[in-house]
Structure 1
Amino acid sequence: RIFSKPKNAVLRKKRPIEEVVKNNNLSVFDFPRFKLVQILQYLLKQNVFESSIAARSVFPELFPQPPEPPKILASTEQRDSVMEKTTGLLETSRIKPNNFSNDDTITVSFNFLDDDPQSVDCVVQYFYRSDYEIPRPTPGTDDETDVIFKEDADHSAADDAASDDSHLVIHVKVFTLAEKYDIPPLKDLSLKKFEAAARLHWKSNRLVEAAQEAYTSTVSDVQEMRKAVIKILYMQRELLDEKHVKDLLLQVPQITFDLLMRFHEMAKPNSRSSMFRYG
């Protein structure tokens, strides 16, 4: 799992790979370290640690097809839910079963203990309804602390019903799970929901949290959610005057770089880019 982490999965040069090997005490009996580093470098270049699809293409003999079960047992710390609807879920090659039962009724257990429970719940909803909803939290006394522009904190009842600012982060986490388990339609859905929530709540501090999540929970090759973050920062430039956003640009240099390149691209004569226009 060490090289499956986003910060390690993007490594391609021998020296940083060797540093990870040293720091994690990785070794193979009677096998020189430089050879291990060479092999890891090759596997990383093939994206084997990022995607089971890539791993299957390189080592097809290691991925036998499991029998298709009629039901799934999904487990998190907060729920054990039997899902009868399996169409689509079992077709995603990144979701692998932990075990099969030996009787006529096959039950497959999937371990989501490392994933955010609320986001997993949204994934489960998606396979039931091809959609998901996020329950609204109980209003607290410190609601205003999540709004950068307090004078504009009030929203219409329709806006509140459509989305809560905390949904920004959850939509990003759902997108990450959809990428992790290779569910393209859910990726598209969570991206659209994030963009809709961002249009309503771009003044919220939660946008900063969502931006950090988008840039730290996915590998650099997965650009859709990152582009959505840059889009809102580019369109709502007054955010750049806010301390929270300035801190974000210092903490996550890649956001700063992407935003700068967007300004550069849009400054070119006859720029026809429509990537950051809302439909």
Structure 2
Amino acid sequence: MVTVTVIDVYCNNKCRALFRQPRNAALRKAKLVRDLVQRHRLSVWLYSENQLVAILRSLLQDQVFESDYTARHTFPELFHSPEPQPTPAASTDVKPSAVSESIMTLQESIRASVLERRARLLDTGDQSDIIIVAGKEYYAHQIIICEFSDVLKSSCQFERQRLTSTGEQPAKEEAKQLRSNARPLTLTLDLSAHDPVAVDCMLQFFYCLDYDSRSIIAGGGGVLSETAEGERITQPSLLTHVLVHKIANYYMVDELKKLALLKFSAEVKKPVQPEDFVAATREAYCDMHECFDALRKEVIHAIHLHRKQLLPDTGVKDLLSSNGMIGYDSICYFSEKI
């Protein structure tokens, strides 16, 4: 039986609206939940801040805010079935299930169409108001990228303030273009410190809610460079997922961080290339922050899963002998399996 305390918090409109947002629904740590409570001045009558944070964490852990189905299962008393209404005679032949399926099919079609048009925006740069520099220039849109990342939103605000405070004015040619309804290029963000493929994948996610390193939006099919003989060199897939996971953490794009981890997990269940695995593992272990623990667990699981293929490889042997933490994590993993 669910306590009244939990129901009170779930029924609070402000709490429910705030934690239904995908970025906030993914929160689990008390400090992050408390920061959000304080920032938005959330309160529920009779409950202290500590009690409110504890209840919110419990609801978040159970994913009650993320799914109406879960909420209905948790609080059945809040979701009473409506009284059946008499159906007009003319509508007796209409099957409700068929209508619902038609609505869902139409909604899926609309979503696909919207995502297709959004992806085309990044291709064409139509009506862009920001340039992202990372190996190449992307003509992007603040309203889209800032929707996912508060870090990028703050960077845009800082750049806008910098331009205002320095009194920089567009050159005559640019001013002429602006007056003639050409694309207004107002801000520039330099992300070239990050891996260019990881940046590209992040932008793919902003516009398409997915990414594919083998089919880069900018073209080239994921090709990073070519040898003198014209051989195409591509980014290894495991390494790409690790880099995307890390750049998503850097820019606080929680949904992309989860997606990259899931893609990495799916990829390591297949046969892996030792060179790709070594590069991905080195990248995963170059930063020992706890926010990458889940990623490192997947790496150790892959070593166990593909041990017959990986352990004889010279590169893998060198990696294991040079990084004590990988060996330690492996021992911990194997001890749990015994």
TM range (shorter): 0.5 to 0.7
What is the root-mean-square deviation in Å for CA atoms of aligned residues?
A: 3.5
Matched, 1:194 2:264: yes
What's 1:274 paired with? none
Can you list the C-alpha shifts for 1:246-266, whole angstroms capped at 9, x where unaligned? 211112211111111001111
Q: Distance in 2 between matches of 1:80 and 1:136?
A: 16
2:284 corresponding residue in structure 1? 214
After superposing the two structures, state which structure 1 stretch, 125-134 or 101-110, moved more: 101-110
Residue 231 (structure 1) aligned with residue 231 (structure 2): no
Deviation at 1:88, TM superposition (A): 5.5
Question: Paired residue for 2:312, among 230, 233, 241?
Answer: 241
Q: Give 1:85 shift.
A: 6.0
Higher relative contact order (CA 8 A, sep 6+): 1
The one-character-per-residue Cα deviations of 1:10-55 (angstroms, maximum 9, x if unpaired) are xxxxxxxxxxxxxxxxxxxxxxxxxxxxxxxxxxxxxxxxxxx98x
* Residue number in structure 2 paired with 1:185: 255
Aligned to 2:275: 205
Q: Is the 8 A contact 1:72 1:107 kept in 2?
A: yes
Alignment check: 8 A CA contact 1:165 1:201 kept: no
Per-residue deviation at 1:124?
1.0
Q: Where does structure 2 lack aligned partners over 5 or more consecutive residues?
A: 1-30, 39-127, 170-177, 179-183, 214-220
Give the 3-state SS of the residue equivalent to 1:223 in structure 2.
helix
Q: Which residue, out of 116, 120, 127, partners 2:206?
A: 127
Any idea what SS the aligned residue of 1:94 has? helix
Aligned residue number for residue 131 of structure 2: 73
Aligned length in residues: 183
Find the structure with the greater CA-based Rg. Answer: 2
Deviation at 1:219, TM superposition (A): 2.1
Contact 1:72 1:86 (C-alpha < 8 Å) held by counterparts: no
Structure number with the higher helix fraction is: 2
Give secondary structure in 1 for the equivalent of 2:292. coil
* 1:256-267 alignment runs, 5 A limit: 256-267=327-338
Deviation string 1:49-71 (CA, Å, 9 cap, x unpaired) is xxxx98xx6xx9xxxxxxxxx84
- By how many angstroms is 1:200 displaced? 2.9
Distance in 2 between residues matched to 1:180 and 1:218, nearest whole Å: 14
Separation (CA, whole Å) in 2 of partners of 1:110 and 1:139: 27
The 1:221–1:125 alpha-carbon spacing in structure 2 relative to 1, beyond 3 Å, is closer
The alignment partner of 1:188 has SS state of helix
Aligned-residue sequence identity (percent) comes to 26
1:116-155 mapped onto 2 (5 Å cutoff): 116-134=195-213, 135-137=221-223
The reply to whether residue 94 of structure 1 matches residue 154 of structure 2 is: no
Secondary structure of 1:222 counterpart: helix
Gapped runs of 5+ residues in structure 1? 1-52, 61-69, 144-163, 268-279
